[in-house]
């Protein structure tokens, strides 16, 4: 079947309404509130695929937080391709700051507004409609197409980690991550390490600092190491065509670590978190050695303090795939077929579920989805309908190129 016959089954109006439905279901995860999670969206996606006649596998990742995997075709002698989306969204913040209600899914001048409109109910909807286009057109793919709606991308990525341990995950050969990247083909993603640094001193009266050891001085010393650490990591990482160079950014400073803060008490402990972004190159050990060295230098500058650190959520190193990968070649052709233009290549400033899939399963990933790259997590988040429809078409043509018929 020619690709245009499958593309004819991508209905723009249906895609817009599906995206709006998904945006209207708030899926902000609020720890402590068992009703505030991805379950309602997951349930919607599950029922939608059943109605379309797909085989659906629901994987319970955590109580009330399921991954939904819709499967089309058998892998057989062919390949298995994942179209990946996540069902959680970040907080809407203060709704009064929004011009369009955060879960209203207003459609105005060719844009859909709302939390998750770009990141990433739209990408998920585009993947769903793309998969359905194969089913509705009666196309038999030469492999297996999986649409994955995963939980918890915005936090610990437990949905992606869980998927990697399941049969359906281990059988994957490649994945398209449908995150908002303006439909560019992103071949690289920056990595992230959150280094939680804990400084210990000795409690004392603020009027008699000589009687204690102030851990806040140690935090200060560590912060002075940040520019040097950033410089060394930049030297160790490869220069990237698509990614900004590594950065080391302090994001949290906290003291005391126990008890109430009091102006006349030197605390026993203090901590800071460094948000470290990396480009491809160094291994975990190399990155760790640099952070160790920065902590050692800071400690030696402050007599009596001890400084330790750990990686919150482990290491998510930068990922990269080459233009010669079968998936990249398939998508390069797919973009031309779907949009009539040559693809733009790019890189993802942060990490995504694709980071987990790439590093755990070793499979190639390309991040490509609708939505302005800078709009996620902002108020009045939106997606352009034109970009949304183009994304669904790109997924159809790319999957067809990659899996064959």
* Residues contributing to the site for Zn ion (CB under 5 A): 119-120, 179
CB of 119 to Zn ion, least distance (A): 4
Q: Give the nearer residue to Zn ion in terms of CB position, either 200 or 316.
A: 316
Q: Give the nearer residue to Zn ion in terms of CB position, either 173 or 179.
A: 179
Residue with tokens 């990595």: 191
Strand locations in 40-86, DSSP E? 55-62, 65-72, 80-86
CB of 86 to Zn ion, least distance (A): 6
Q: 81: which strand partners?
A: 145, 174
CB of 267 to Zn ion, least distance (A): 37
Q: Give the nearer residue to Zn ion in terms of CB position, either 105 or 221.
A: 105
Residue with tokens 């988040």: 381
CB of 85 to Zn ion, least distance (A): 8
Q: Give the CA-trace dihedral at 29, 35, 39, 40, to 10 degrees.
A: -110
Length of the chain: 405
CB of 168 to Zn ion, least distance (A): 21
The CA-to-CA distance between both ends of the chain, in Å, stands at 8
Q: Give the nearer residue to Zn ion in terms of CB position, either 153 or 225.
A: 153
CA distances (Å), origin 376, targets 41, 90, 154, 373, 389? 19, 9, 11, 7, 19
CB of 328 to Zn ion, least distance (A): 21
CB of 122 to Zn ion, least distance (A): 11
- Cβ-in-10-Å burial (0-12, 13-18, 19+) of 364 comes to buried
Radius of gyration, alpha carbons of the chain: 23
| 158 φ, ψ (degrees, to nearest 5) | -70, -25
| 147 φ, ψ (degrees, to nearest 5) | -105, 120
Q: Give the nearer residue to Zn ion in terms of CB position, either 87 or 230.
A: 87
Q: Give the nearer residue to Zn ion in terms of CB position, either 179 or 184.
A: 179
CA atoms within 13 A on the CB side of 52: 24
CB atoms near residue 140 (< 10 Å): 10
Q: Give the nearer residue to Zn ion in terms of CB position, either 337 or 351.
A: 351
CB of 99 to Zn ion, least distance (A): 22
CB atoms near residue 207 (< 10 Å): 8
Q: Give the nearer residue to Zn ion in terms of CB position, either 122 or 139.
A: 122
């Amino acid at each position: 079947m020619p690709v245009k016959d499958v593309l004819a089954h991508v209905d723009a109006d249906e895609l817009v309404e599906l995206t709006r439905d998904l945006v209207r279901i708030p899926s902000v995860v609020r720890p402590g509130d068992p009703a505030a999670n991805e379950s309602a969206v997951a349930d919607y996606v599950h029922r939608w695929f059943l109605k379309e006649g797909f085989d659906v596998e629901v994987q319970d990742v955590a109580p009330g937080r399921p991954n939904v995997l819709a499967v089309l075709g058998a892998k057989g002698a062919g390949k298995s391709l994942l179209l990946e989306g996540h069902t959680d969204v970040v907080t809407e913040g203060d709704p009064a700051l929004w011009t369009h209600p955060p879960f209203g899914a207003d459609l105005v001048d060719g844009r859909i507004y709302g939390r998750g409109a770009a990141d990433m109910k739209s990408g998920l909807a585009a993947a769903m409609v793309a998969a359905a286009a194969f089913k509705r057109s009666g196309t038999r793919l030469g492999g297996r197409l999986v649409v994955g709606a995963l939980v918890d991308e915005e936090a610990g990525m437990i949905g992606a980690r869980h998927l990697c341990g399941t049969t359906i995950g281990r059988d994957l050969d490649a994945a398209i991550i449908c995150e908002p990247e303006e439909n560019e083909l992103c071949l690289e993603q920056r990595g992230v390490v959150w280094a939680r640094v804990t400084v210990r001193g000795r409690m004392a009266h603020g009027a008699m600092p000589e009687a204690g050891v102030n851990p806040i001085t140690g935090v200060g010393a560590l912060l002075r190491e940040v520019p040097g650490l950033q410089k060394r990591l930049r030297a160790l990482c490869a220069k990237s065509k698509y990614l900004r160079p590594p950065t080391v950014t302090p994001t949290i400073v906290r003291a005391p670590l126990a008890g109430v803060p009091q102006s006349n008490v030197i605390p026993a402990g203090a901590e800071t978190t460094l948000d470290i972004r990396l480009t491809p190159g160094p291994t975990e050990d190399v990155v760790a050695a640099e952070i160790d060295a920065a902590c050692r230098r800071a400690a030696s500058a402050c007599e009596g303090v001890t400084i330790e650190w750990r990686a919150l959520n482990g290491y998510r190193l930068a990922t990269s795939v080459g233009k010669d990968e079968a998936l990249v070649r398939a998508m390069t052709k797919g973009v031309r077929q779907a949009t009539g233009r040559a693809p733009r290549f790019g890189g993802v400033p942060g990490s995504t579920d694709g980071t987990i899939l790439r590093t755990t399963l070793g499979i190639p990933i390309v991040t490509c989805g609708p939505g302005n790259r800078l709009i996620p997590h902002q108020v009045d988040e939106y997606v352009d309908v034109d970009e949304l429809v183009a994304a669904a078409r790109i997924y159809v043509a790319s999957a067809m190129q990659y899996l064959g018929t």
